[in-house]
Structure 1
Amino acid sequence: MEWRVKGIRGATTVSENSVQAIREAVTELMDELESRNQLDPDEIISVVFSVTRDLDAIFPAAIARQRPFWDNVPLLDVQQMHVEGGLERCIRFLIHVNMPAAHKKIHHPYLRGAKNLRPDWQLAPATL
């Protein structure tokens, strides 16, 4: 089987700059990512999280690292470039993952207030 490195994007927003609000949003985002894409953490090459400058209560990577089997995934947090009028309290990610070359369907989860960032990638919510 032939494999390729593919990128998965996603984003969400939080109601406030608190550990609880960020943990809830990142967990929801990661649950959506995993359920829609059937990811095996062993096949993830790396994950970069970015947050807007108004979020500093906790690192999103620290939350992701607590997920089952994510303790060996290389994770990085960075601050998103500030653009006047940009979406506030936003957490984004870019994941590089090894996938079978034939795997064509990738779901890029954009949740909450981030849904409008990429309306072309929107799907109906997953049924869990």
Structure 2
Amino acid sequence: MGWKVRAIRGATTVSENSVEAIREAVHELLDELEAHNFLDPDDIISVTFSVTRDLDAVFPAAIARERACWANVPLFDVQQMHVEGSLPRCIRFLIHINTLDPNLKIHHPYLRQARGLRPDWVLAQTSPRSKSRL
């Protein structure tokens, strides 16, 4: 069996458009990602962060690059398409990884008010289970 590309999604919200609030939220989101997935940065193909139009104080990718072992991960920031009535002050990510396990269980972290974006995943992931190795 060979390598397979898988995707991990996640999102969070911030209380305000400030460097400090965005840094805290991005670190919390990536901490949750790494705690539940044992993510090896060498297996990451790329990470795209999107932010809603009300967040412009700092690039989430710049914050991710501060993390140990993430300096060489391809990171990219984009602005999320605005839809009237959508969740404000939201940061999302889409991560593509290589894995040898095509049936790998992936934890998709949705935190703070972003939990409402994917309540089906949040409920499924609240039950205790073993951590997956990517």
TM-score relative to the length of structure 2: 0.90
| 1:93 corresponds to | 93
| 2:132 corresponds to | none
Q: Deviations over 1:76-113 (max 9, x none)?
A: 00000000000000000000000123442000000000
| 2:18 corresponds to | 18
Is 2:64 aligned against 1:74? no
**RMSD (Å), alpha carbons:** 1.4
Query: What are the ranges of 5 or more consecutive residues in structure 1 without an aligned counterpart?
Result: none
Distance in 1, Cα, partners of 2:75 & 2:92: 13
Q: Which 4+ stretches in 1 moved above 4 angstroms?
A: none
Query: What are the ranges of 5 or more consecutive residues in structure 2 without an aligned counterpart?
Result: 129-134
* Percentage of pairs with the same residue: 72
| 1:40 corresponds to | 40
Distance in 2, Cα, partners of 1:28 & 1:103: 26
Q: Which shows bigger deviation, 116-125 or 84-93?
A: 116-125
TM-score relative to the length of structure 1: 0.94
* Number of residue pairs aligned between Structure 1 and Structure 2: 126
| 2:126 corresponds to | 124
